[in-house]
Amino acid sequence: MLRISIDKIDSLFAAISEKQALYIPADRADGAAEYKKYEAGMKLSEKLNTVRSAKDFFFPQTENLVEFKMEGKKIEVKDIRQESEDFVIFGVRACDARSFTILDKVYLVEPVDSYYKNRRDHGTVVTMACTRPSETCFCQAFGIDPTAPEGDCAVWSDGSYYYFKANTEKGQAFVDSVSSLLEDGDTAELDKTVAKTKEIMGRLPLAKLSTENFGGDKLNEYFNSDKWGELSESCLGCGTCTFVCPTCQCYDIKDFKTSDGIRRFRCWDSCMYSDFTKMAHGNPRLTQLERFRQRFMHKLVYFPANNNGEFGCVGCGRCLSKCPISMNIVKVMKALEVK
Amino acid sequence: MQRIGVFVCHCGTNIAATVDVKAVAEALGHEPGVVVSQDYQYMCSESGQNLVKNAIKEHNLTGVVICSCSPRMHENTFRKAAAAAGLNPYLVEIANIREQCSWIHKDIATATEKAVILGRAAVAKVHLNAPLIAGESPVAKRALVIGGGIAGIQTALDIAEAGFDVDIVEKNPTIGGKMAQIDKTFPTLDCAACILTPKMVEASQNEKIHIHSFSEVTDVKGFVGNFTVTIKKKARFVDETKCTGCGLCTEKCPMKKVPNEFNMGLDNRTAIYIPFAQAVPKVATIDPNYCMMLKNGKCGVCSKVCSVGAIDYKQEDRFIEEKYGAIVVATGFNPIKLDKYDEFAYNQSPDVVTSLELERLMNAAGPNGGTLLRPSDKTHPHKIVFVQCVGSRCDDSKGKPYCSKICCMYTAKHAMLIREKYPDTEVYVFYIDVRTPGKNFDEFYRRAVEQYNVHYIKGMVGKVTPQSNGKLHVQASDLLANEQLHIDADMVVLAAAIEPDKTARPLATMLTTQMDTNDFFTEAHPKLRPVESATAGIFLSGACQGPKDIPETVAQASAAAAKAIGLLCKNSITCNPCVAHSDELMCNGCSSCEKVCPYGAITYIDKEFRMPDRTTKVRRVASVNPAVCQGCGACTVACPSGAMDLNGFSNSQIMAEVDAICK
Amino acid sequence: MQVNENKEFEPLIVAFCCNWCSYAGADLSGTNRLNYPTNVKIIRVPCSCRVNPMFILRAFQRGADGVILCGCHPGDCHYTSGNYFTRRRMTLLFSMLDFLGIERDRTRVEWVSAAEGAKFAATMNEFTEAVKKLGPNRRLEDLRCRKQ
Amino acid sequence: MQETMINRAKQLLADGTVTRVIGWKRGEFAYDITPAVFESAEELESDFVFDDFTSANVSKYLVKESAKEGKVLVFLKPCDTYSLNQLTKEHRVNRDNIYVIGIPGGPKLDIEKIKAKGISGILSVRNEDYTLKIETIYGEETMPFSEAILDKCASCKSKKHVTYDELIGEDGDVLDSNRFDMVEKLENMTAQERYDFWREQLSKCIRCNACRNVCPACTCEKCVFDNPNSGVENKAASDSFEENMFHIIRAFHVAGRCTDCGECSRVCPQNIPLHLLNRKFIKDINELYGAYQAGEDTTSKAPLTNYTFDDCEASIVHERGVE
């Protein structure tokens, strides 16, 4: 398998970033990791994951759509879309990698979201297998193998080497572009690491979490469950879970009056917000209970109902660690579950 | 869709000389919503106004922007013109391109550019203007005067004279106030009682005037034209309607050792008493702190001797409620307590007295029947030292920072009277400055010095020490001669600073009027509105607003009356429609707005709301009384949720102006 | 912000003036033909206490380089106490802007009475100069509003 | 302590004094505790928890809960009682409908600080004589208790309960805290340094509104940031200005009302030290207008709805400190 010694990774990053923009998870001053544009000297984070998910690369928090100019009754519309430049995201975990598949199901079906597609076409996802999963991890519940991540190209580490395997044509092109830096090597050490990780996966506190009692056909079982009141009673109605979530894909479209016109942009929205999907007649979901229910029903019931049983969650665990009141999808699943 | 008309005024050459008015009209014509944009020589002239009126009718305008002089000049002119053409007057905005543009700039290009921007801001604002209708609120035809001293009496007489009912609330058993205690008045030296008591009688006999003596205001609700006031009539244990004021009870009362407050505690009265012979109403009052009958049920002499059966030991405080259109505050003043002034030995020697005590000592109705005697040994004093500014013009916390204003003159009066009556008595006056601005005041003071040989010494008394021989050793400095003086005086008279009555502060809270740090009521404007408080419908009379002598007090009392009459003459008041209003759906009921409102215009009501989940919830929300609100907007910023907004200057209007200017 | 042909930086100054004192003071400086730069654009408010911090931030967002707030002298407020609240609010707001590293000289409160036409003009001259020295507002600008 | 609290809550439920109890509910792990309303002895028995991680300030829930029928029991730490007082003062809660049991305050632990040490796969956390024994999937780890204390507890202002109906444990005192140290440090930087500091911090903001929604001073029926008519409504931090605007306005709206409970910084998913903005206002207010602590009582006039004739002028900002 093609590999590079860990201490040479800088040269690999340098080589990539020479040709296109490279983003890697790096540690911030406060200790948390976030994706940053690679610059010489930047170190790859050893954190399990970034606070914000990798969805930002394809579905950024805000994105300009179009601009208008008005003079009297004349309205001039300006298309401000620009073709993205090629870029590489390195070090995406298996959970986030799967989230792209979920976002694709929303944005790449007809009518195709050209803004999203543009970014998706130009981005190469290089994933990184996990070796130190955390107690908040439950990707297994959604059939994700963190030791064999998806993405254009997968990377493994055994502590001494990074191993590369292309999963797609784009991934192959990526490997080819840096092949001069890679060498072939055996995977005995790596196999041990993977086996060990798999063993740890089995011992995680949430290893037994199962989705078998959820899915598109469970609307009636869960929609009117009396658990929702208790689960949502302390929900603050903030958007933390939504905004750190790699699969949440809702947005709002707003107009901003600039100095010489109007800029229409879209930005992330959260179904936890009281003005979410507010229409002329008012708001369809009037209470926090309804809004809270929406988010979890969407991930566990509505999304699979429309997508051949695929759930709208990848088990990354971000909401478990970031929710201000520690309410999350795992607690919801455990409370609701009707066997 | 808005249809806005823009009218650019040349103001002759005042504007047109530095601003290309045609270019301004042309540029503003392209602004969104503008359907007509014209310029004219003199927009405020009749033909100019007609131009606006015709355009309103012809184009069915929904808003008008006049680019002209300051709105302080002609805003009303154009509002009236708009109203005449059928457009709500509050849909007119003025862009000030004269005072704030053409007159201060010289370069035509930049001045024109700025004029366009100012016009654009006005257009942006007028887009958001809402038609406003001035409300009206009825006026109760009755006035309340709080305080029955000379200020209150004069105000009440004037208001009654104009034909309105007026109530006087006086906390003491009689009206008359401080002036009733004064012997002679400066600068004429006529007898205070001789000029005051006829007014007291006049007040009591005027059928429009209703005197609530021995009463206090306990609650004030409402607003200008429509106050509801609760008055506590304190129990005096004597039926006012029956008592004839014959005074037999006061003669027979066995409890004769009650300090007489009217004589500043210099002699005693009985437990049942009439403060002084000319009291109004002349009705006895029982002092429950001393009456044996009230204290332990043993006595009852007054009840036995009263031939009309006026004594009622079971009387209780009564509360009455009345509606008023206007309220005049006339709570007056008191001399400060001198406890903190040990250096003057006020608490050590009875021969150290305040000026007001001296008034009583010299008064024919006073404790000594008008003969000036030392309180200690009732001997005739031969040397008297007056100390000025005791507690006035003080920069420490002991006294007051202000000048009490009346002391210089009354001391000159005292000195003169003493020298006149007792030529063998030497009088020294220690002063910082002698302040005598007033008609015939300085002449009066000079008479004291030149004609009566009063020793005026610039300097402060350092210490007064009572001697074993009964003399008071006065140690002082003469600043002009630069020497220390030692005087063995028989009496020392302290010109104590005056301060507002203690009842004023809680009253101000009830009335939501402002006070300064010294607890004097603050007038609406120090120069132009000296007798109105900032709270509409509340007027200020006399020393409650600041130290005053009698002529000034009377002048202000009549002025306050005139203002009150002006209000009472109206059947209703037109309210300024540019007032605050609260969006109840957003209001948190947190009281922030209420706390910054200088007028007490905001109250809270519990209101029922339908909640999103179809339940109902009762919530506390702010409610602005448009008749009281003056439209300052303090509340709009205090409100965290933005529920409070101001008509005519709304958040969105001001932000639209900001946007237009910064475009 | 405007840049004129000589490329000299011309700051945009928004001045909030209370109706009773400062706006009248500004009128007086006009009546007396006392010059101050065209950079200053006045917005009339009933009282300085009507000025919400949001208005000031809005001005900076939309491209103002300096914001000045003028009101009656303390003690002279037409509404008796409005400017006292203004004083506290603006002191705290300006201190916060300073804390965030926004240049101090971009904001100011000045008490100008209706009689102080000369002071109004002098203040505006001085303030405009001070802001000019700072250059364009970059630390508190909204890039979306920057003029192309 | 937890036992005593549960027992007392059960008593008060049983004797009808209260109908509900607000406290904290056990989570999946050692630390993920959720504020909750308990309605029965059974619920209390099985789920009620009070330990080193029960740091959430539950006073804000009283806005909703005290408006309901029946009295509600709430357990408040000293810092939380300040929040309740402030809510009472602003008429946001019905104090008559609340039964407050004052309980001892922190220091509470910050799981983020433990995780920042690289400790992951956490199964349990025990405090043994101020050393944390942390059991993980990867074996046992230890770290000093003091290094895992929540920032808000490390700069605690008071151990005194300013309102309560009864106390469990001893009441403490107002502390001479070091809470303004960091504000002062920033004040002593140059404007450029301060600007850089705040840009770095605020650029992390994802406008999730957690700070606002957790804040016990932010109980507006409709927040200006959610109101399209307010002129400042926005959803996305799409420009540095919006982040600035949001945080400045929010801090200004709670100025003189913020009880410095520190929840804003605790819940921020991006670890932005938002409390420094509030503390800056508190420090300024103390220095310029006299010591004032929101929530200390329910009657005093808040600094921004009050004034004195000789308040300092706004120019004081220009005159002091480092440029």
Name the DSSP letter for residue D109. Answer: B
User: In the structure encoding, which two tokens stand for residue B518, read together?
Assistant: 């010294």
Q: What is the pLDDT of residues B255-311, one digit of tens each?
A: 999 999 999 999 999 999 999 999 999 999 999 999 999 999 999 999 999 999 999
Q: Give the chains touching D; criterion: ≥3 Cβ pairs < 8 Å.
A: A, B, C
Backbone φ and ψ of A151, nearest 5°: 105, 170
Verify whether the Cβ–Cβ distance B595 to D305 is below 8 Å: yes
Q: What is the pLDDT of residues B160-213, one digit of tens each?
A: 999 999 999 999 999 999 999 999 999 999 899 999 999 999 999 999 999 999
Q: What is the pLDDT of residues D284-307, one digit of tens each?
A: 999 999 999 999 999 999 999 999
> How many whole angstroms separate alpha carbon B268 and alpha carbon B99?
70
If one counts the domains in chain C, the total is: 1
Q: For an interface test with A, which of D38, D57, D201, D206 has the most A Cβ atoms less than 10 Å from its Cβ?
A: D206
pLDDT score recorded for residue C146:
80
Q: What is the pLDDT of residues D146-156, one digit of tens each?
A: 999 999 999 99
Residues forming beta bridges with residue B228, ordered by sequence position: B221, B323
Q: What is the pLDDT of residues D225-275, one digit of tens each?
A: 988 888 888 777 667 788 888 999 999 999 999 999 999 999 999 999 999
Q: Is pLDDT above 80 for B238?
A: yes
> How many whole angstroms separate alpha carbon B563 and alpha carbon B532?
8
CB of B640 within 8 Å of a chain D CB? The answer is: yes
Strands (E), chain D: 20-25, 34-38, 72-76, 98-102, 122-128, 131-136, 139-144, 166-167
Q: Which residues contact C57 (CB under 8 A, 6 or more apart)?
A: C140, D232, D244, D245, D248, D249
Q: What is the pLDDT of residues B156-171, one digit of tens each?
A: 999 999 999 999 999 9
- Per-residue pLDDT, averaged over D164-174, amounts to 91
Q: Nearest-CA neighbor of D256 among D222, D205, D181, D307?
A: D307
Q: Give the chains touching B; criterion: ≥3 Cβ pairs < 8 Å.
A: A, C, D
Structural domain includes residue C68: yes
The A residues from 250 to 279 touching B (CB cutoff 8 Å) are 257, 259-260
pLDDT score recorded for residue C142:
86
CB of B112 within 8 Å of a chain C CB? The answer is: no
> How many whole angstroms separate alpha carbon B428 and alpha carbon B145?
41
Q: What is the pLDDT of residues B442-468, one digit of tens each?
A: 999 999 999 999 999 999 999 999 999
Strand B602-610 with B538-540, pairing: unpaired
Strand B491-496 with B383-390, pairing: parallel
Structural domain includes residue C147: no
Verify whether the Cβ–Cβ distance C49 to B658 is below 8 Å: no
SS3 D224: helix
CB of C95 within 8 Å of a chain D CB? The answer is: yes
> How many whole angstroms separate alpha carbon A245 and alpha carbon D101?
37
What integer best gives the mean pLDDT of chain B? 94
CA of D238, closest CA in chain B: separation in Å?
Answer: 19
Amino acid (one-letter) located at A120 = R
Taking contacts as CB-CB distances below 8 angstroms, the residues of chain C near B110 are: 38
- Per the rule left: phi > 0, alpha: psi between -120 and 50, beta: everything else, C63 is left
Q: Nearest-CA neighbor of B10 among B36, B49, B44, B46?
A: B44
- Helix intervals (H) in chain A: 9-19, 94-107, 114-122, 169-177, 188-203, 219-223, 227-232, 240-244, 288-297, 303-306, 318-322, 329-336
CB of C126 within 8 Å of a chain D CB? The answer is: no
Verify whether the Cβ–Cβ distance C41 to B107 is below 8 Å: no
B197 touches B278 (CB < 8 A): yes
- Per-residue pLDDT, averaged over D158-165, amounts to 94
Per-residue DSSP letters for B602-656?
EEEEEEEEE-TTS-EEEEEEEEE-TTT-----HHHHH-TTS-EEETTS-HHHHHH
Q: Which residues contact D96 (CB under 8 A, 6 or more apart)?
A: none
Q: Nearest-CA neighbor of C139 among D159, D191, D205, D206?
A: D191
Taking contacts as CB-CB distances below 8 angstroms, the residues of chain B near D227 are: 586, 641-642
Stated as kind and residue range, the H or E segment containing C16 is strand C13-18
Inter-residue long-range contacts of A291-297, CB under 8 Å, 24+ positions, other chains counted:
A291/A232, A291/A237, A292/A228, A292/A231, A292/A232, A292/A235, A293/A223, A293/A228, A293/A232, A295/A241, A295/A242, A295/A271, A296/A329, A296/A332, A296/A336, A297/A219, A297/A222, A297/A223
User: In the structure encoding, which two tokens stand for residue B34, read together?
Assistant: 């503008």
Least CB–CB distance from B637: residue in C27, C28, C49: C49
Least CB–CB distance from B646: residue in C50, C58, C64: C50
Q: Nearest-CA neighbor of B283 among B325, B239, B315?
A: B239
Verify whether the Cβ–Cβ distance C101 to D195 is below 8 Å: yes
Structural domain includes residue C56: yes
Backbone φ and ψ of A121, nearest 5°: -65, -35
CA of B36, closest CA in chain A: separation in Å?
Answer: 13
Structural domain includes residue C26: yes
D98 touches D115 (CB < 8 A): no
Verify whether the Cβ–Cβ distance B663 to A71 is below 8 Å: no
CA of C79, closest CA in chain A: separation in Å?
Answer: 35
pLDDT score recorded for residue D237:
63
- pLDDT of chain C, 148 residues: tens digit per residue: 454 555 689 999 999 999 988 999 999 999 999 999 999 999 999 999 999 999 999 999 999 999 999 999 887 788 878 999 999 999 999 999 999 999 999 999 999 988 899 999 999 999 999 999 999 999 988 888 887 6
User: In the structure encoding, which two tokens stand for residue B69, read together?
Assistant: 């002089």
Structural domain includes residue C11: no
Confidence class of residue B38 from pLDDT cuts 50, 70 and 90? very high
Strand A87-92 with A21-27, pairing: parallel
Q: What is the pLDDT of residues B534-553, one digit of tens each?
A: 788 999 999 999 999 999 99
Taking contacts as CB-CB distances below 8 angstroms, the residues of chain C near B90 are: none
Question: CA angle, C69 as apex, D280 and C23 as ends, to 5°?
Answer: 160
Taking contacts as CB-CB distances below 8 angstroms, the residues of chain A near B662 are: 259
Question: CA angle, D120 as apex, D116 and D124 as ends, to 5°?
Answer: 110
Structural domain includes residue C148: no
CA of A259, closest CA in chain C: separation in Å?
Answer: 5
Q: Is pLDDT above 90 for D170?
A: no
pLDDT score recorded for residue A182:
93
> How many whole angstroms separate alpha carbon A94 and alpha carbon A127?
7
* Enclosing domain of residue C37: 17-139
Closest chain B CA to residue A75: B32
Verify whether the Cβ–Cβ distance A252 to D235 is below 8 Å: yes
Q: What residues in chain A have per-residue pLDDT under 70?
A: 72-73, 339
A166 touches A175 (CB < 8 A): yes
Name the DSSP letter for residue C92. Answer: H
> How many whole angstroms separate alpha carbon B629 and alpha carbon B625?
6
Q: For an interface test with D, which of B125, B517, B586, B654 has the most D Cβ atoms less than 10 Å from its Cβ?
A: B586
Q: What is the pLDDT of residues A143-162, one digit of tens each?
A: 999 999 999 999 999 999 99
pLDDT score recorded for residue C148:
62
Q: For an interface test with B, which of A73, A287, A293 has the most B Cβ atoms less than 10 Å from its Cβ?
A: A287
> How many whole angstroms separate alpha carbon A135 and alpha carbon A38?
30
Q: Which residues contact B646 (CB under 8 A, 6 or more apart)?
A: B578, B579, B580, B581, B631, B633, B636, C46, C50
Taking contacts as CB-CB distances below 8 angstroms, the residues of chain D near C60 are: 241
Least CB–CB distance from A267: residue in D32, D235, D271: D235
Q: What is the pLDDT of residues D78-137, one digit of tens each?
A: 999 999 999 999 999 999 999 999 999 889 999 999 998 889 999 999 999 899 999 999
Q: For an interface test with C, which of B92, B98, B104, B535 has the most C Cβ atoms less than 10 Å from its Cβ?
A: B104
Verify whether the Cβ–Cβ distance B641 to D224 is below 8 Å: yes
pLDDT score recorded for residue C1:
46
Q: Give the chains touching A; criterion: ≥3 Cβ pairs < 8 Å.
A: B, C, D
What integer best gives the mean pLDDT of chain D? 92
Q: Which residues contact B577 (CB under 8 A, 6 or more apart)?
A: B90, B132, B133, B134, B135, B626, B647, B648
CB of A263 within 8 Å of a chain C CB? The answer is: yes
User: In the structure encoding, which two tokens stand for residue A7, read together?
Assistant: 């201490």
Taking contacts as CB-CB distances below 8 angstroms, the residues of chain D near C81 are: 307
